Amino acid sequence: MTELRRRYSDQSVKYSRQQISKLAFVLAGLLIAVTSVSLLFVGFVASHASRQQAIANEERLFQNTVDDRMRSIVREQITVASSDESVRKLVRSFDAAYARLSFDTLWSTYRHSKVMLISGNGDVIAESFEDYTHIISRPISEMPDLAQIHDKLKGVYLRNRVRVPGGFGHRTLQGIDPSEYAIMGFVKIDGRPALFGAMPIMPDEYETTLPDGPPTVLLSAHYIDDFMLAQLNGQLGFENFLFTGGAVEETDGPHHAVANQRGEPIGTFTWNSQTVGDSIWPTIIPVIVLLSLALGALAFGIAWRIGQLTSFLQASESQNRYLALHDSLSGLANRLQFNRVLETSVKNLPDKPFAVIHCDLDKFKAVNDTYGHAAGDTVIKTMAERLTKVIGKPGLVCRIGGDEFMVIYRGPVDSGNLESLSKALIAAGRQPIPLSEDVSANIGLSVGIAIAPQDGDTAEQLVTRSDAALYHSKKMGRGQFTTYADISEARDGPEDLLQRQASA
């Protein structure tokens, strides 16, 4: 009886262990299956989210680059469009020789592949084909895309037009974005897609005024050809960067569709996303196989892969955030970052006063004209390093375009410290900049300062008044510094000049 009980007991224990083992295998298999499916799901979601985020960041970077190029076209047009002589010879009367010379300047200096002059009554009276200018007369109604641009610019012009003795003028362009006085975008010209900018002809010294009526318009364009794509991609660094004309095609990859002013599709930019890593499936599948051998290896594999994906996403976001907030040439903060920091600084007033320092290089155009744009780039980068070194930790140095720099300075804003700082900046600008072993560029630096809150307690006021102080420094001979408190608003700036003339 005792032996039988022992055998029964042994069989019971043996059966229990088998059941537990079986249950453990079942639970382990179920756990592995659930974990494997979860890993597949996590891998799919992470891969999809990573791809979509990376594509969105690249598309934002592309949009910012195109916007900057459009603004550059308008700023380059100002050399011709904002001039008393242009008003006399292109608006008040038409001088064909002057038109040819002006168009040739935009081609030879900035490579504007197409330039058109549109009279106030809506006739194209001159157009260029690269370095050849044709004097014609044809109604713009024959070109609906250009007619739409001309109509839109009329409204913009009327908002900016001001009455002055003897006719009309235009409010100052200093300190305002080109989108406030110009039309920019994409258009088809002569059947070819192009990036364009259009602005009215206006006086700069107001010795000549504009007549009443619609504006005479200067339109410049860059065809979207291999040269333009290479220029854009020089800033972007995209792989297989292409432009395809025609209607927008559905694609799940990075792309940017463009249309004319009437909303009609022109074409699509496409490229291969470089911030999206290789497919994660070759890594996940071996890990899933290893789950059948060791549950611990699975946990380690999941943690490692998720950590890798997280690091990748953070690195990708950090890279794109840096590109969005920094100037690609100098490495300084760009206009977007400047505006954000300025708005934050204004919110901290009056507890934390600061200064806005507006700097502009003197004789910079001569460097480009004499030694080429590569030398100009060297000057910009060298001056960026010098200004950053002089300003130090209390300030943020920004490049807002061309040869213009702005500083948000949060150090002591007493007159003595700002005077010492300004002299140091000017001294840095006077130092020769080596361009080669035996050639150096000699430029200079003019400085305008607005102090918050006494000179203004809004971002717009501080930018405008630092610009007015800079204008005064330029006017007084360059290579100088001026604070806004040193000048009278009634004596500085084209807007005030218009007011004095209107009241005369």
Instruction: Give me 21's structure tokens.
Output: 């083992």
Do residue 195 and residue 291 come from a single domain? no
User: For residue 161, what are the domain limits?
Assistant: 70-231
Q: CA-to-CA distance for 120 and 394, rounded, in angstroms?
A: 51
Residues 466, 358 contacting (CB under 8 angstroms): yes
pTM of the model: 0.49
Do residue 339 and residue 198 come from a single domain? no
Do residue 52 and residue 78 come from a single domain? no
Tokens 């140095």 found at: 397
Query: pLDDT tens, position by position, for the chain (504 residues)?
Result: 344 334 334 444 444 444 544 555 566 567 667 776 776 676 666 666 667 777 888 889 999 999 999 999 999 999 999 999 999 999 999 999 999 999 999 999 999 999 999 999 999 999 998 889 999 999 998 889 999 999 999 999 999 999 998 899 999 988 899 999 999 999 999 889 999 999 999 999 888 999 999 999 999 999 999 989 998 998 888 889 999 988 766 666 788 899 998 889 999 999 987 655 445 556 666 766 676 666 656 555 555 555 566 666 667 777 888 888 898 898 999 999 999 999 999 999 999 999 999 999 998 998 988 889 899 999 999 999 999 999 999 999 999 988 999 999 999 999 999 999 999 999 999 999 999 888 899 999 999 999 999 999 999 999 999 999 999 999 988 889 999 998 865 454 444 433 433 333
Cis before residue 350, ω within 30 degrees of 0?
Answer: yes
Q: CA-to-CA distance for 220 and 106, rounded, in angstroms?
A: 8
List, in order, residues 6 or more apart from 246 with CB less than 8 Å away.
265, 267
Residue from 464, 466, 495, 504 nearest 483 by CA = 466
Do residue 396 and residue 424 come from a single domain? yes
Residues 128, 114 contacting (CB under 8 angstroms): yes
Q: CA-to-CA distance for 398 and 408, rounded, in angstroms?
A: 8
Residue from 261, 327, 405 nearest 65 by CA = 327
CA 429, 432, 435 angle in degrees (round to 5)? 120
Q: Does 196 map to a domain?
A: yes
Q: Phi and psi at residue 409, in whole multiples of 5°?
A: -105, 120
Q: Does 241 map to a domain?
A: no
Which residues are registered as beta bridge partners of 354? 452
Q: Does 476 map to a domain?
A: yes
Residues 450, 418 contacting (CB under 8 angstroms): no
Q: Which strands form 183-189's sheet, in the order they lie side by side?
A: 132-139, 123-129, 114-118, 217-223, 192-200, 183-189
Q: CA-to-CA distance for 188 and 99, rounded, in angstroms?
A: 23
CATH of the domain at 218: 3.30.450.20
Which residues are registered as beta bridge partners of 401? 404
Do residue 201 and residue 139 come from a single domain? yes
Sign, CA dihedral 408-410-411-413, equals positive
Q: Does 275 map to a domain?
A: no
Q: Phi and psi at residue 174, in whole multiples of 5°?
A: -70, 130
Q: How many domains does the chain have?
A: 3
